[in-house]
Amino acid sequence: MVFLAALPQILTAFIPQKALLNCIYNIYTIIEFILVYFFIGNKASTLFFKKISRLTVMFFVLFLFVLIINEGLTNRFLNELVCVANIIYVSWIFSYVLENLFFENELLNIKLPMFWYLTGLILYTTCTALVFSFYYSIGKTSILKNLWIIHNVFNTLMYILFAVGLYKSTKQNSLQQIEN
């Protein structure tokens, strides 16, 4: 996900055509949605939470088609799609946490890598949904310009928390290999 997110950022420096950049960022949002789905959205084990996950995917696809029909992929950056995707990510995270709490699975433990991944995602997704809801207003006032700074802080924080999760995962794998 990190490497995928870097690609549109790098291409921005080399592609001056607004329509192509819009298309790249809009397609990136769709690919990111698919990746996050496989990371957290499809982790439900009970029928109720599986249905919630499927309904959110169907809503996203329907919303995507309506936006593409009305706006296209190249006419503008579809900030609404980013907002909807991030709100869905939040619902997946909360569903995952809630389901694990129902089954008394240990999840909210700083020793577990998933704790760090979920914490990074929940902080980032809530901030992203807020900031991108103001996407076309940012820059018009100095106060709204500061939203990008806040978003960058949360983006960096997410990557740091992911790194901690990866470290914890590597450490757990090393300990398991030693025990075996």
Whether the CB-CB separation of 95 and 122 falls below 8 Å is answered with: no
pLDDT at 8: 64
Q: Is-above-0.85 flag for pTM?
A: yes
pLDDT at 173: 75
**Poorest-confidence range of 20-29, 139-148, 153-162?**
139-148
pLDDT at 11: 64
Q: Which residue has better confidence, 103 or 124?
A: 124
- CA angle at residue 129 from 57 to 99, to 5 degrees? 50
Q: Quick one: average pLDDT of 102-119? A: 85
Share of the chain above pLDDT 90, in %: 58
pLDDT at 2: 61
Q: Quick one: average pLDDT of 120-143? A: 88
Is pLDDT above 70 for 12? no
Q: Quick one: average pLDDT of 138-160? A: 85
Is pLDDT above 70 for 13? no
Give the chain's mean pLDDT.
88
How many angstroms separate the Cα of 2 from the Cα of each of 7, 51, 95, 136, 162? 9, 28, 24, 25, 10
Over the stretch 148-158, which tens digit does the pLDDT of each residue have? 889 899 999 99
Confidence of residue 101 (pLDDT cuts 50, 70, 90): confident
pLDDT at 108: 75
Of 104, 64, 105, nearest to 88 by C-alpha is 64
Confidence of residue 14 (pLDDT cuts 50, 70, 90): low
